[in-house]
């Protein structure tokens, strides 16, 4: 190693799911939504005057913040927006986890949490889930510098009752609890109403999955005015203009059409439930996912073998060669037609 490299911050980065260049594939590997965003988003793109690009975007993204506030009936001062919820979570970690005590999160969860902890030098301890992948709230009733829970969890799809989440929040008045609700629109129950009861609760959401806008990069968080204020102070100490003007307008437009949103989410839920039955018939063991993906373990062949065989057939799903979850595949719920193609391929792979 060169001398200068000793002064370099070294990290092991998060590995996102593959985005194949070939568009002629069935992509069920990154939990994207198979349906387009609300038609109001198209209208923004068609009418956008490019001369507006001369100007910096609104630093507070007011139009977007106000539309989210109105949608959920909370005050605009209780909303933080970022470039995807990854950006929101990253700022939340940096701002809210500044203790010498370790932050806590499950051993099986979104694999970005330990990466942010490492890059920001936040001590952390992972807490084992039960063998059925559920959370035991009692495990979080110890000294800590913060708690992060994805609910429903990823990649397991398992939802924890709001009472379990509240139990964890109630036990931790001295640290911040982040609940990452990336998948909450596909089932389960939000703990959003608790933000008025607990000043130290942050609820994080994304446009990437239920709002079909992963490519736009919009995430947001809701919490007490105080918590959001601290996050904005850090954000404005790094980069004031993170979200571009077009994205802000498109995000606000999406919030305006709730019936379109519900319709596309309901289609995905229906396809998910049908897919669970079909996978069970194919001999998969799986959790009762409340998300837009299914966490399923093939019993006849190894998960890794099935993953590779699907890839040969241009069907991308997600596989992790990690303890505990190496027998599982995470399969994003696509359109009915995409899922039918998947089932045909699986029949061939498992029975061939
Ligand atoms: C997808 C996902 C995110 C990140 O979403 P973006 O808004 O696209 O950055 C965060 N948390 C969990 C649990 C996710 O699955």
Distance 238 CA to ligand 1 centre (A): 21
Ligand 1: which of 29, 80, 182, 291 to mutate, judged by most atoms within 8 Å of the beta carbon? 182
Q: Is 110 in the pocket of ligand 1 (CB under 6 A)?
A: yes
The pair phi, psi for residue 137, each rounded to 5°, is -55, -30
Q: Which residue CA neighbors atom 12 of ligand 1 most closely?
A: 182
The predicted-structure confidence for 38-97, as pLDDT tens digits, reads as follows 999 999 999 999 999 999 999 999 999 999 999 999 999 999 999 999 999 999 999 999
Residue 332: helix, strand or coil by DSSP? strand
Tell how far the Cα of 219 is from the centroid of ligand 1, in angstroms: 8
Gap between the Cα atoms of 167 and 162, Å rounded: 8
Cα(35)–Cα(56) distance, integer angstroms = 31
**What average pLDDT does the structure give for the chain?**
97
Beta-carbon count within 10 A of 39 CB? 11
**Ligand 1 centroid to 54 CA: how many Å?**
31
Q: Reduced to 3 states, what is the DSSP secondary structure of residue 238?
A: coil
Beta bridge partner(s), residue 26: 315
- Tens digit of pLDDT for each residue in 298-333? 999 999 999 999 999 999 999 999 999 999 999 999
Straight-line distance from the first to the last Cα atom of the chain, in angstroms, rounded to the nearest whole number: 50
Which residues on neighbouring strands pair with residue 81, listed in sequence order? 220
CA separation for the pair 129, 207 (Å, rounded): 27
186 lines ligand 1 (CB under 6 A): no
Cβ of 83 closer than 6 Å to ligand 1, yes or no, is: no
Could you tell me the distance, in angstroms and rounded to a whole number, from the CA of residue 22 to the centre of ligand 1?
A: 23
State both tokens at 237.
């100490």
What's the 153 CA to ligand 1 centre distance in angstroms?
11
CA nearest neighbour of 336 among 19, 26, 24: 26
The rounded Å distance from CA 154 to ligand 1 centre is 9
Distance of CA 147 to the CA centre of its chain: 16
Q: Kindly give the distance from the C-alpha atom of residue 156 to the centroid of ligand 1, in angstroms, as a whole number.
A: 14
pLDDT band at 20 (very low <50, low <70, confident <90, very high): confident
CA of 173 to the centre of ligand 1 (A): 26
From atom 1 of ligand 1, which residue's Cα is the shortest distance away? Answer: 182
What is the pLDDT confidence band of residue 147, given thresholds at 50, 70 and 90? Answer: very high
Ligand 1, atom nearest to 150 Cα: 13
Q: For residues 164 and 189, is the Cβ–Cβ distance under 8 A?
A: no
In this structure, the residue with its CA closest to atom 5 of ligand 1 is 85
- Whole-number Å distance, alpha carbon 209 to ligand 1 midpoint, is 8
**What is the distance between the alpha carbons of residues 289 and 303, in angstroms, rounded to a whole number?**
18
Query: Does any ligand 1 atom lie closer than 6 A to the CB of residue 182?
Result: yes
Are residues 95 and 112 in contact, defined by beta-carbon separation less than 8 angstroms?
no
Q: Is the peptide bond before 155 cis (omega within 30 degrees of 0)?
A: yes
Residue-wise burial string across 288-305, b where 16 or more C-beta atoms lie within 10 A, e elsewhere = ebbbbbbbbbbeeeebee
Q: What is the 3-state secondary structure (H, E, C) of 182-228?
A: CCHHHCCCCCHHHHHCCCCEEEEEECCCCCCCCCCCCEEEEECHHHH
CA 299 to centroid of chain Cα atoms: 28
Ligand 1, atom 14, residue with closest C-alpha: 182
For residue 299, the model assigns a pLDDT of 94
32 lines ligand 1 (CB under 6 A): no
Q: What angle do CA 325, 328, 332 make, to 5 degrees?
A: 115
pLDDT for res 16: 87
- Length of the chain, please? 352
Q: How far from chain centre, in Å, is Cα 92?
A: 14
What's the CA gap between 178 and 128, in Å, rounded?
18
Is it the case that residue 352 has pLDDT exceeding 80? Answer: no
Tokens coding 101: 């005590």
pLDDT at 23 over 90: no
Instruction: For residue 352, count other CB atoms closer than 10 A to its CB.
Output: 7
């Amino acid at each position: 190693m060169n001398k200068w490299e000793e002064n370099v911050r070294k990290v092991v980065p998060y590995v996102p799911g593959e985005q194949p260049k070939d568009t002629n594939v069935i992509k069920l590997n990154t939990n994207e939504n198979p349906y387009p965003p609300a038609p109001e988003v198209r209208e923004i793109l068609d009418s956008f005057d490019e001369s507006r690009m001369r100007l910096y975007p609104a630093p507070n993204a007011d139009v977007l913040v106000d539309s989210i506030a109105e949608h959920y009936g909370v005050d605009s001062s209780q909303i933080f927006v970022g470039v995807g919820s990854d950006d929101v979570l990253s700022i939340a970690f940096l701002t809210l986890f500044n203790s010498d005590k370790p932050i806590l999160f499950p051993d099986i969860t979104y694999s970005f949490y330990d990466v942010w902890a490492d890059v920001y030098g936040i001590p952390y301890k992972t807490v084992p889930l039960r063998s059925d992948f559920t959370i035991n709230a009692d495990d979080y009733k110890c000294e800590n510098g913060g708690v992060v829970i994805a609910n429903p969890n990823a990649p397991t799809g398992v939802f924890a009752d709001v009472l379990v989440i509240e139990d964890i929040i109630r036990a931790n008045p001295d640290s911040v609890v982040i609940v990452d609700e990336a998948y909450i629109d596909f089932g389960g129950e939000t703990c959003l109403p608790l933000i008025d009861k607990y000043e130290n609760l942050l609820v994080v959401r994304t446009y990437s999955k239920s709002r079909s806008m992963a490519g736009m990069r919009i995430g947001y968080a809701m919490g007490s005015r105080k918590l959001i204020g601290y996050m904005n102070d850090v954000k404005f100490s790094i980069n004031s203009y993170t979200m571009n003007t077009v994205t802000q307008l498109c995000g606000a437009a999406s919030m305006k059409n709730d019936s379109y949103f519900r319709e596309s989410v309901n289609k995905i839920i229906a396809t998910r439930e049908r897919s669970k039955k079909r996978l069970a018939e194919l001999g998969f063991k799986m959790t009762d996912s409340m998300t837009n993906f299914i966490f399923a373990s093939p019993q006849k062949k190894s998960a890794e073998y099935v993953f590779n065989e699907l890839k040969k057939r241009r069907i991308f799903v997600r596989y992790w060669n990690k303890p505990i979850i190496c027998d599982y595949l995470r399969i994003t719920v696509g359109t009915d037609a995409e899922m039918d193609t998947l089932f045909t391929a699986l029949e061939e792979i498992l029975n061939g």
